[in-house]
């Protein structure tokens, strides 16, 4: 049945597959395969980070919208499930880079809310993890969801369940709101099939081009949370497209 629920039950093949799968142009494709060509092409464009002008889509949420637009172009019919329509042009240094497209949301927080409304977002709470390097039980239970095709959201704060989703979606003085996002393009497991690291495409900061980074490890240390981004905790996981069942082996 399409679409599968998110997150998929741990007993479902979609939960244990190496990648998410999605319907694209009438067939089921691995998100790992779809994202490989898209993100390699975006890395080659050498997109510099900037929040202004906002309509050039060059910050972390903007790069996600660019990726979504490329995906919409190669997967006709997927537009209702993606935050940006098809039609984005490649970035040109010094060129007219306004996207000229209407996005479902423009900020990391707005996109998280949109994915929640779509039924493809699950929060991670840190009630039982006080220190930055501690892994909460939510992360232990949900880290299997990190695989190609997952969207990740991060926060400088320590959101707990009693604060609810609003603390993620709206800026607040506790800094529990979402402040960064990216898309998983690769994943690493240990011998027990537990996620211990991943590769993520994202717009980074004013000193770095948008790229795929690898330093997102489960072994938290000091101020680096497990499976986080720098000092930011992983606070939400989503599915870029509605998930489809993996094809059966021939």
pLDDT tens digits, 63-97: 999 999 999 999 999 999 999 999 999 999 999 99
The verdict on residue 124 lying in a domain is yes
Q: Using CA atoms, how far apart are residues 249 and 230, in angstroms rounded to an integer?
A: 39
Task: Please give the tally of structural domains in the chain.
Answer: 1
The verdict on residue 13 lying in a domain is no
pLDDT tens readout for residues 22-54: 999 999 999 999 999 999 999 999 999 999 999
The verdict on residue 177 lying in a domain is yes
The verdict on residue 246 lying in a domain is no
pLDDT tens readout for residues 110-156: 999 999 999 999 999 999 999 999 999 999 999 999 999 999 999 99
The verdict on residue 68 lying in a domain is yes
Query: Taking the alpha carbons of 76, 79, 82, 83 in that order, is the dihedral positive or negative?
Result: positive
Range of the domain at 28: 18-239
The verdict on residue 249 lying in a domain is no
**Alpha carbon of 59 to those of 29, 39, 144, 155: distances in Å?**
28, 15, 27, 16
What is the helix (H) or strand (E) element at residue 41, kind and residue range?
helix 31-44
The verdict on residue 10 lying in a domain is no
pTM of the model: 0.96
The verdict on residue 5 lying in a domain is no
Q: Using CA atoms, how far apart are residues 47 and 213, in angstroms rounded to an integer?
A: 15
Residue with tokens 């099939």: 193
Q: At what angle do helices 31-44 and 60-74 cross, to 10 degrees?
A: 120
Q: Using CA atoms, how far apart are residues 239 and 83, in angstroms rounded to an integer?
A: 12
């Amino acid at each position: 049945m399409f679409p599968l629920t998110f997150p998929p039950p741990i007993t479902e093949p979609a939960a244990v597959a190496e990648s998410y799968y999605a319907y694209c142009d009438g067939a089921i494709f691995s998100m790992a395969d779809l994202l490989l060509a898209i993100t390699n092409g975006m890395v080659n464009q050498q997109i510099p980070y900037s929040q202004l002008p906002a309509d050039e889509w060059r910050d972390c949420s903007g790069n996600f919208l660019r990726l979504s637009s490329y995906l919409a172009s190669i997967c006709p019919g997927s537009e209702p499930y993606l935050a940006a329509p098809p039609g984005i042009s490649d970035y040109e240094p010094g060129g007219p880079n306004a996207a000229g497209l209407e996005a479902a949301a423009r900020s990391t927080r707005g996109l998280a809310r949109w994915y929640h409304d779509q039924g493809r977002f699950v929060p991670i709470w840190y009630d039982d993890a006080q220190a930055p390097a501690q892994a909460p039980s939510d992360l232990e239970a949900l880290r299997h969801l990190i695989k190609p095709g997952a969207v990740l959201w991060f926060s400088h704060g320590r959101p707990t369940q009693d604060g609810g989703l609003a603390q993620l979606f709206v800026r607040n003085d506790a800094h529990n709101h979402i402040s960064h996002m990216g898309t998983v393009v690769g994943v690493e497991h240990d011998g027990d099939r537990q996620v211990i690291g991943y590769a993520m495409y994202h717009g980074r900061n004013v000193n770095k081009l948008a790229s795929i980074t690898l330093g997102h490890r489960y072994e938290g240390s000091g101020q680096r949370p497990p499976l986080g981004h720098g000092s930011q905790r992983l606070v939400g996981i989503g599915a870029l497209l509605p998930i489809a069942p993996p094809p059966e082996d021939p």
